[in-house]
């Protein structure tokens, strides 16, 4: 995809303008693809619940503050999401072993099962989308996306 309206004049500015355009399109098309995917597997969790469950599955039980900090979200936003997830039996609360006044959140088996179903459906979808890419190109894309996410994460922690 090309952008005839670059702000810079050199090759680096042109590349940065292309990256900005491609990331904007990636976000728009990613959301459009999610909405257009007809399988129920993609809809068993909303986006926020999926991200929270993915993090908890890797990191283990967390209090809301740690979860909010890790996901770069406001604590009140995470509290609302966690409350909805608890009503849906996706997460459970337990006393925080380091602070008796607080609680930690952990995924339930139902939450992990639903998260795994969404992850498998998304993996199949990307397998279809990238079917004509070589394994090397897929690896390169995964590596570059990981680097981009790491850079974005580091930027939000400044």
pLDDT given for residue 130 in this prediction: 96
pLDDT given for residue 6 in this prediction: 45
Nearest-angstrom CA–CA distance, 65 and 144: 30
* DSSP assignments along 109-158, one per residue: HHHHHHHHHHHHHHHHHHHHHTTTS-HHHHHHHHHHHHHHHHHHHHHHT-
Q: What is the pLDDT of residues 16-35, one digit of tens each?
A: 999 999 999 998 888 788 77
pLDDT given for residue 42 in this prediction: 60
Of 72 and 143, the one with more pLDDT:
143
pLDDT (mean) for 147-156: 89
Residue whose pair of structure tokens reads 């952008």 in the numeric block: 3
Nearest-angstrom CA–CA distance, 20 and 24: 6
Q: What is the pLDDT of residues 90-136, one digit of tens each?
A: 999 999 888 878 899 999 999 999 999 999 988 998 999 999 999 99
C-alpha 102 chain-centroid distance: 26
pLDDT (mean) for 55-64: 93
Q: What is the pLDDT of residues 88-101, one digit of tens each?
A: 999 999 998 888 78
Nearest-angstrom CA–CA distance, 123 and 119: 6
Average pLDDT, the chain: 87
Give the number of other CB atoms < 10 A from CB of residue 37.
Answer: 14
CATH class, 42-158 region: mainly alpha
């Amino acid at each position: 995809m090309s952008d005839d309206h670059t702000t810079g004049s050199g090759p680096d500015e042109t590349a940065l303008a292309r990256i900005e355009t491609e990331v904007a399109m990636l976000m728009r098309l990613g959301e459009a693809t999610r909405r257009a995917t007809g399988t129920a597997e993609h809809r068993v969790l909303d986006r926020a619940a999926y991200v929270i469950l993915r993090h908890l599955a890797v990191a283990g039980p967390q209090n809301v503050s740690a979860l909010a900090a890790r996901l770069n979200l406001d604590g009140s936003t995470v509290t609302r999401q966690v409350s909805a997830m608890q009503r849906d039996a996706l997460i459970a609360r337990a006393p925080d072993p380091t602070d008796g006044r607080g609680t930690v959140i952990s995924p339930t088996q139902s939450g992990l099962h639903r998260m795994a179903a969404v992850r498998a459906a998304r993996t199949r979808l990307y397998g279809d989308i990238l079917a004509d890419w070589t394994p090397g190109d897929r690896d390169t894309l995964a590596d570059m996306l990981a680097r981009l996410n790491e850079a974005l994460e580091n930027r939000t922690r400044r």
